[in-house]
Structure formats: structure tokens, C-alpha cells
Structure 1
Amino acid sequence: MADADAAAIRASRAEWAAQHLVTYLESGGAQGHILNLHDVGGRTCTTHCLIRYTGRKSGQRYIKPLIYGNFGGEIVIVASKGGADSHPEWYLNVVSGDTLDVQIATQAFEASWREPEGDERHQVWEYMCHLYPPYISYQQSTSRRIPLVMLNLQTPTEIFTIES
């Protein structure tokens, strides 16, 4: 999919995504963790986490809501960018550092990350496509291999706020 097409899809959902983030943050994670994404091809109970990372150029802190799965005790997030031909900025920022923070519902942790390889990657990809079927069409629409990021939760930290 051309980046312009993916950008149009993201723009049409931008208000929804911004409100989702505010709801998640203002509720301390009590709301926004599980959403019904059936209207966009997802499941009725789709789990979302928040990641907090530092911009590799700006040094600013950012918070991004993402669909996640739990595979073998690790949290999995997908750098799909709706099937765009370029990686999402959050992914480029995450891979430029050693750790990031993740909030799942009402609990937050510092986490290390890694990218699965080989057969493990195939298994994780299949699992994530089961959780959110649109990932299949996202991958078909781009020549880039959509990255998977596996998070190993470590030290508990304070839940995210709008100011963090």
C-alpha cells in the first residue's frame, strides 16, 4: 500500500485514536484496554497497551496505544502502520533504545525488547494475525516485512498520565 493510502486511513481514524489515548490515560487504564474493533475487521475484544518511548531525534517522550498479544509470556506489538511502505516512527524510536515503558490496563512496567527470528517469528506472526486479522492485508499491501516487537516486562513503574 502506498504511504499516501495508509496515511489517509490513519487520518480518518486520527480523532478516534486520540480519544482512545485520552480515555486510557484519564482512566488510569481502567478503560481503553479492551476495545471492540469488529467494525474495522478486528475482534470484539481486542487488547491494547500503551507504550512510552523517547524520540531518537527530539528527545521528547511519547505515548502510543497499540494492539498487543501475549505470546509465551512476552507482550507482542506489531509495527504495521496500516500496511504503509515505511516503518512507524514509534518503531524506529523503540529500536534505537534499549528499553521502553509499557502499560497494560492498570499496570505499567519498564520493558526490554527484541525481535523474533525464523520459526519463532512465523509463529508469533500467525498468532498476531489471529488476534487482529487486518494484519494479513496490511502485510499483503506492502513489500516491507512488518516488524514484530516482543516486550519482556521488568521493573514495575508508575502508570502513565497525560503529563508523562
Structure 2
Amino acid sequence: MDRTYVDETNRRVITEFRAGGPVEGMHRERLVLLTTTGRRSGRAHTVPMMFHRDGDRVLVIASAAGALRHPHWYLNLAADPAVTVELPDESYAGVAETLGGEDRERTWAMLKQTYPFFADHEAKVEREIPVVLLRRAE
């Protein structure tokens, strides 16, 4: 996909989301704006993405639609887990934590059942697709 198109779409989605109204072509109630710190640049980078509420947990999935490599936002938070989370109903300073072990396996199975396209993404790659918890900073 053309990088310019992706950047322009992300800018539009971020602007529409922050304005508080509908987000063209997206389900606002499933969108989160995640701001990470660039691992090389040290600058703030905000990306819109789908999130899932699992009880009181807010989860994002680094599938990148089945791309061979982890998305840049995931590499950024792996280097520095301090993030800003903007949900439809609240914003907070957060800490990103990649799920592991039994929690990751159980949660990943639930996500694939809830959103079958994640199974399609998984089938395209050899990497383990990270599931990330966005918890409040203390």
C-alpha cells in the first residue's frame, strides 16, 4: 500500500476522532489513538487502530494485517512502553505490556473467535502476533 495514502488516511482519522464526531469509514467506538515514542527519532507518533475491551482491559493487536514484520508502533513501544491512549470516552497516560504465556494464548484464541480476520492474519506470517495490554500508568 502507498505510504502517502496511509499517512494521509491516518491524519484524517486522527483529526476526525479528536473532533469527537463520526470517523469516515470506521467504527469510532472501536478506535483508539495510540501515541508512542519513536525508537530512533524520540518524537511522538500517533496511530489510529482497532482496540478490544476484555473486561476492564484495553487490548491492541500488532497484526499489521498479516505483514511479515511487526508494525512500527509495536517496535516503538517495545523500546519504550510509555504510551498515551485516546479512547472514544477517555484518554490516559499508559504503559504497554505485551501479553505472554497462558494469558496470551487464551486471549489470542478469544480474539480470533471474536474477529476471524485475525486467524487470516496469523496464517500469513511465521511471527507470533503480539497482543498488547494498554494499562494506566501509576
For 1:42-100, what per-residue CA distance to the aligned partner results, in whole angstroms no more than 9, with x for missing partners?
xxx86111111110110111111111111242110011111111111100001111311
Aligned residue type for 2:69: S
More helix by share: 2
Between the two proteins, the alignment pairs up a number of residues equal to 136
The aligned counterpart of 2:123 is 140
Matched ranges for 1:1-164 at <5 A: 8=1, 14=6, 16-25=9-18, 27=19, 29-32=20-23, 35-36=26-27, 47-154=30-137
Q: Take 1:134 and 1:22, find their aligned partners in 2: how far apart are those partners?
A: 27
Q: 1:133 to 1:11 in 2, by over 3 A?
A: farther
RMSD of aligned residue pairs (Cα, Å): 2.5
Q: Which runs of 4+ in 1 moved over 6 A?
A: none
Q: Answer whether contact 1:55 1:62 (CA < 8 A) is retained.
A: yes
TM-score (norm 2): 0.84
Alpha-carbon spacing, 1:104–1:131, altered in 2? closer, same or farther (3 Å): farther
- Local SS of the residue matching 2:128: coil
Structure 1: gaps of 5 or more residues: 1-7, 37-44, 156-164
CA distance in 1, matches of 2:43, 2:4: 26
Counterpart Cα distance in 2 of 1:79 and 1:92: 10
